[in-house]
Structure formats: C-alpha cells, structure tokens
Structure 1
Amino acid sequence: MQNSAQTGKSGPLIKQKQKASRGRGTFKKNGFLYLLLMPALLLTLIFKYVPMYGAVIAFKEFSPIRGILNSEWAGFKYFEKFLLSPNFEVIFMNTLKLSFYGLLFGFPIPILLALMLNQVRKAGAKKNIQLFLYAPNFVSVVVIAGMLFIFLSPTGPINAIATWIFGQPLMFMTDPAYFRWVYILSDIWATAGWASIIYVAALAGVDPELHNAASLDGASLMRRIWHIDLPTIKPIMAIVFILAAGGIMSIGFEKAYLLQTSMNLPSSEIIATYVYKVGLQSGDYSYSAAVGLFNSVINVILLLTVNFVVKKLNDNQGLY
C-alpha cells in the first residue's frame, strides 16, 4: 500500500520532469531558430506593444508639458465628443463604405488573376505577365495620386474620351460621387497583382494528374477549376478574407489624404484623415487618440466576428 501511494505521488512529478526535459531538448535542438526569431519578437514588442501605453491619452486631458502620467483624467469625454459630433455619421460611413466596397470588389480579383495565370503553360509568357501585374505594387502612393490627378483632370486623356462620349468632361477629382470608384479601382490596379502571389503559389502545388484525369473524364476547363483549383485555395481564401475583414476600418491614410480636395470631402473624409487633422494639425491629441482607439476597437470586433463566422462555416463543411 505504501509503495503504491508513493508511486501515485511520484507519477505527476515524473511526467513534469519528462516534459521539462523534452522542452529543454527542443530548445537545444532548435536554439538557432529561436535566436533568428528574437529580432522580430523584439521589434514587435518595441514598436507594437510598448506604444499601446500611449492609448491612455484618449482617457486624459493630455498636455505635452505635464506628460501622460501627470495629465488629468477625462474618462470617456472624448469618445462621447466624437460619437455626438455632427461629422461622426459621415466620417464613419465614409470609412465603412470605402473599406466594404474595396473588399467586395478587390477580394475576388487576385483569385481570378491567379486562376488565369495558372492556365498559362509557357514559362516565359507567364513570367512576363506576372512582371506586368506585379509592377504597380512598387509604385509609390504619391506617384499614383499624381498620375490620377493628371489622367483624370478635365483636360486629361480619360476626359478626352468622356467629352467625346458625353459632350462634357467628368469631374472625377472634385465630384464626391466619383471619389470612391477612383480610390477603389486604382487600389485594385496597384495591389491585385501582388496579392495574387499567394494563390499562384498554392495552385502550383496542385497535382497535374488531377487535371489530366478530369480531362479524360470529359470535364471542361471551368469544371476543373471549380472542383480542383478552388478547393485547393479555399483555406487560403478564408485566411486572407479574415485578415482583410479584420482591417476593414484601417484604410491607408496616405492615399485618401492625397486624393482629397475641398470639393470631394463629403466622400473622402475618413477616420484616418480626420485623426491626422485633429491630432497633428490642430494639436488635439486626446481627442485624436480617442478617435483612433475607437477605430481600433471596431476593427477588433470585426476581426473576431468574421473569424467566428468563417470558422463555423468551415466546420460545417468539414474543411478542418
């Protein structure tokens, strides 16, 4: 009885020692890989987690002279100020619409490009097409904005065609009705090619014998794409969609600000540009921090919601 009691007590201790020894063995075996990972972890910690302390400004009457710690607490004053401001609905809906339409029209394009590239059999032609599609990603946002102002100006080449068709030029850069389409279409042109890389890489792993067997069975090209290629990239599509939906409120500040004019503000004023104007230009740091934090909270909620929905759909379909 005594021996069995001692054995029962020593059992968990032995398991803990075995786990500890396995952990040390794993660290010793992969120590160089952990060492390579350290710079990335340090950069993430320094530039992502440490600055989170600055979010406290949103709850304080921040003064650069007194500093964050010595500034008085304001509670949710600035959040209420933003939510009750007359501009809130316009700014929030502009941000949401620009992001939603960008996701709606921009998400399928890289998938279609990857599926079409996968059908190009000549290696030389495929490389040239990829180079043509990827090149816009390396063009500066400032250059893209300048190109848009030149091409879409009343005397530009696009309006030369519009004048011939409609009898008058279209005010692309001043009419609020055109801003979203200019922003979204130019964004698709600049990023779709580069975004298709991950799908092209996944499709490269498809066994050609599957396509050959399907062809022998009489399957058309569309059938083969639907039943072979799309199921292969479906998990990647789910991950990319979750990440894109999680950042649906995080529109790039630079392009929206560069394309803004005094005439298209009803459509072009988004949370990112608003934070820049009230924070850096007007010096209202607490208010701008509250607006930025509100935007981040909305992003987190969307990310968790979309992740939950996609996971449920995948579970029901038996993908994972």
Structure 2
Amino acid sequence: MVIPGVVFLIMFRYIPLAGIIIAFQDYMIFKGILASPFVGFKHFESLFAYSQFWRVLKNTAIIGLFNIVFVFPVPVILALMFNELKNLIFKRTLQTIYYVPHFFSWVIISALAFDFLSISGVVNSIRGLFGFEPYLFMQSEAYFRPIVVLTSIWREAGWGTIVLLAAISGINPELYEASMVDGASRVRQMFNITLPLLVPTIVVLLLLNIGGFLDLSFEQIYNLLTPLTYPVGDVIDTYVYRVGIVQGQYSSTTAIGLFQSTIGFILVIFFNSLARRYQEEGGMW
C-alpha cells in the first residue's frame, strides 16, 4: 500500500532535484543540461542585484506571514467549535458547508470575489444604501492582501479541520469523564484537555506551513492580481511564471526556486528545533 506513495515521491520530488544544476548554468533548451555552460553563482548575483526581486520577496514574505497569523488559526478554532456540537446532523451539515469551497478551483473563487466586490456587487450595493460611493476593491493596493487572506480562509479553513478533528477523536474519553466528575465545564475541558492534547498536531501542521512560507498558491495570486495591485501582489511564484515561462529565463527562475526552497528548509529546521526544545513531543522529528 505504501509503494504508490513512495514511487510518486521519488518521481516528482527526488528525480526533479537533478534540475537544480540549471541554476548554475546558462541553460539552453536545445543543448540540454549536459551541454549548457556552467556560470557558477552568476544568476544568484544578478538575482540579488535586481531591485524588482526584493519587492517580490517582500510581498511574498508579507502574504506568507499573513497566512500563518490569520489563516492557520482558523481551522484550529473551527475544530474546537465542531467538537462541542452534540447534534450530529447539525454538526455534519456545518462541516459539509465549510468543506465544499475546498473543491472549487481558484478560478471560480477569484471570479466570485471579483463579482462580489465589483461596482455593482453585493458589497458596493450595501455601501450604497448608507450613502457611500462605489469603490474598486479589487483594484486597490490596500485591500489586495486582506482579500487574499479572506479567500484563503473561505477555501481552506473547513478542509484544514479534518486532521485536527481526527486528532481530537483520538483523545481518551476517560479524561473528559474524570474532569466532569471534578466539576469541569465544557469550556474548561476544551482549554485544559482538548487544546493541550491537540498542541503536538498543531505544531506539526504549523511547521508544514512554515516550510511553505514562501511557496504561496500561484493560482490564487495570479487570478486575483490586477495591473493596479502588482506593487503589493506580485510574489515569487507569479514572478517565476512571468520571467521563467513567458520570457524563457530558465536558469534565473531555477535560482529563485532554489533560494525559495533553501529558505523554507532553514525555517523548518529552526522552528522544529524550537518545538523540540520547549515541548517534549513537539516537532516533526
């Protein structure tokens, strides 16, 4: 049963690592990897000397931080709330409602966001009732990042509760029974039993999110971007697409990808060591 997963990991995660060598070459697609000339760290040097790259890196870091601070806690809160619901029909109905957006593509969600926030959309219609002028939210730099955060929460929050609810279901029921005998309320049980025992799972999920700190959803950002929001919304993935795919600068964009992966690896190692230091069962290894 493990073999398909192992084969997938080798084919799509380990074998492509050989392509990293392109970052140290002036790669020419007709010559291939073996015949393309080596140039050392030339592309890394030009990368860090390129002013637009720092703007892209800043945007990526800010949106990545927003995802960790604002998006990541929502599934935890939802899982704790779902766990307190005793009516199974109502609980499953709510779970389904929250899960469904995960199966929508970012194209659909972005189209809904544009429609919802358009001049004649719901938000501007409500604003008009109070005498406010219509506002172009999707073309505003100030609102782009909040829109990214809100759409991420809407699409992924319900799906993210699955692992956490599974972890909660594995908690020994005798702990709750003993606390009830001692007179603990449902709120005290949640904060003194459920949440502490859920921390190891939360830490692992947080580390996985930190590992992808600079690896944002290309589909989401690309479909939400407009020409007016490029200064705050252009991230590494959209930059790689524009420079690497459209302009064919494969070596430069491979260097960016290697830099991106290295930062993620360092962050995971660092925060995993912190988790192991402050919590005996914390961390991924």
Count how many residue pairs are aligned between Structure 1 and Structure 2: 283
Cα deviation for residue 108 of structure 1 reads: 1.3
- Offset from partner CA, 1:259-315 (integer Å, 9 cap, x none): 111100011100000000001101111111111111111111111111111111113
State the match for 2:141 in structure 1. 176
Distance 2:56 2:129 in 1: 36
Which position in structure 1 is the counterpart of 2:60?
95
What whole-Å deviation, never above 9, does each CA across 1:20-57 have from its counterpart, x for those lacking one?
xxxxxxxxxxxxxxxx3222222211221111111111
Which of residues 242, 246, 251 is equivalent to 1:281? 246
Distance 2:169 2:3 in 1: 32
Return the alpha-carbon distance in structure 1 between the equivalents of residues 67 and 218 of structure 2. 15
Contact 1:57 1:285 in 2 (8 A): yes
Identity %: 36
* Matched letter for residue 137 of structure 1: H
Aligned to 1:251: 216
State whether residues 247 and 303 of structure 1, in contact with CA within 8 Å, keep that contact through their aligned partners in structure 2: no
- Partners of 2:255 and 2:261 lie apart in 1 by 10
Higher mean alpha-carbon deviation, 217-226 vs 95-104, is at 217-226
- Distance (whole Å) between structure 1 residues aligned to residue 77 and residue 59 of structure 2: 28
Q: 1:123 is matched with which residue: 88, 109, 114?
A: 88
The SS at the match of 2:137 is coil
Instruction: Return structure 1 stretches of 4+ with deviation > 4 angstroms.
Output: none
1:112 paired residue among 77, 84, 88: 77
User: Which string of whole-angstrom CA distances, capped at 9 and with x for unpartnered residues, describes residues 34-83 of structure 1?
Assistant: xx322222221122111111111111011111111111111111111111
Match of 1:215 in 2: 180
- Deviation of 1:206 after TM superposition, in Å, equals 3.0
Query: 1:166 Cα deviation (Å)?
Result: 6.3
How far, CA to CA, are the matches of 1:302 and 1:169 in structure 2? 43
Segments of structure 2 that go 5 or more residues without pairing to the other structure are none
Residue 176 of structure 1, CA deviation: 1.0
1:305 has 2:270 as partner: yes
Residue-by-residue CA offset, 1:216-250 (whole Å, 9 max, x unaligned): 43323321111111122111011111111111111
Which TM-score applies when normalising by structure 1?
0.84
1:246–1:306 contact (8 Å) kept in structure 2: no
Counterpart in the other structure of 1:201? 166
The amino acid that maps onto 1:75 is G
What is the alpha-carbon distance in structure 2 between the residues aligned to residue 54 and residue 77 of structure 1? 17
Question: How much does 1:94 deviate?
Answer: 0.4
Report what 1:79 is aligned to: 44
Consecutive unaligned residues of structure 1, counting only runs of 5 or more, are 1-35
Distance 2:275 2:172 in 1: 27
Aligned to 1:251, what secondary structure does the other structure show? coil
Distance 1:165 1:89, change over 3 A: farther
Cross-structure match for 2:117: 152
Determine the C-alpha separation between the residues in 2 that align with 1:165 and 1:310: 49
SS for the counterpart of 1:72 is coil
Which one of the candidate residues 16, 19, 31 is aligned to 1:51?
A: 16
Distance 1:195 1:240 in 2: 9
